Amino acid sequence: MSESTQKKLENPAGKYPAPPFNRQPQQAPGLASKMDPLPDHGEESYKGSGRLQGRKALITGGDSGIGRATAIAYAREGADVVINYLPEEQSDADEVIALIQAAGRKGVAIPGDITDPEFCKELVSTAVSELGGLDILVNNAGRQQAIDSILDITEEGFDATIKTNIYAPFWITKAALPHLPEGSAIIATSSVQAYDPSENLFDYAQTKAANVAYVKSLAKQLGSKGIRVNGVAPGPVWTPLQVSGGQPQDAIEKFGSVTPLGRPGQPAELASIFVQLADADASYATGQVYGAAGGNGHP
């Protein structure tokens, strides 16, 4: 490797913004374009090398955050990508589709609510039709609302979290499985909350633990079919999920400060993990949960 192409070493602690941050409440689901500082999804930094050439991916929550970073990386690695998101997130989704197309790949935006089982079936059917097949499924979309006491969690709120984080991956995976050929990859976004839950994320933490079990059980079920199932467990990552109720605003001011790196992660820093887990070169990795938490977390 020549000196001109060699990557410069960087101190990871100083690579991205660190707290304190401004309070910035948004209504859920929130928009990345309104955050300060703007999250880095790899728009400028991610460089592909053809690792997913010709692949066909469906990513839920692909408009912002980790899903957006994954969509950008997949496209730059040669995959065609369908993203799902809520209609309120259309402006963020438009930016992602433009980036996918700029990478020379097909990008398809399918808005809709994944807490509806019929929509989940339609989402998969449309994705398969638009892409001419499917071989990567990323169940990434999530709902997180910080509430101090179990007494203040409403049945409606609890139900929405369970449906978004547990039921939707079940419905989508069940609909997708008949279309997934040997060599396909399924990836779930879990969280450090599955292993070390915060007191104010009682319902969310339970669903993230369920996502870990989803990965480990389904990997055993699908191993003989040649389909790998893995997960990623992020720590504090700078996404709209956090500023739109996922954290109280006083916690946003110091978000990520508890990690050894002293800052939150950026979505771009997780994209390569999702690429690795989708890449056929990772053929012996199944039933695994990869951590990315700035020095905290268990997986």
Q: Three-state SS for 290?
A: strand
Name the H helices within the chain. 65-76, 90-102, 117-131, 155-162, 168-176, 202-222, 240-241, 249-253, 268-278
Report how far Cα 187 is from the mean position of its chain's Cα atoms.
9
Q: What is the DSSP letter of 256?
A: T
Task: Decide: helix, strand or coil at residue 61.
Answer: coil
Contacts of 281 (CB under 8 A, 6+ apart): 51
> DSSP letter string over 71-130?
HHHHHHTT-EEEEEE-GGGHHHHHHHHHHHHHTTS-EEEEE--TTSHHHHHHHHHHHHHH
Is 214 assigned a catalytic role?
no
Task: For residue 39, say if its preceding peptide bond is cis, omega within 30 degrees of 0.
Answer: no
Give me the catalytic one of 16, 46, 74, 204.
204
Q: Which of 91, 84, 73, 137 is nearest to 115 (CA)?
A: 84
Q: Residue 223 corresponds to which tokens in the numbers above?
A: 């191993």
β-strands 289-292, 107-111 pairing: unpaired
Positions marked active-site: 204
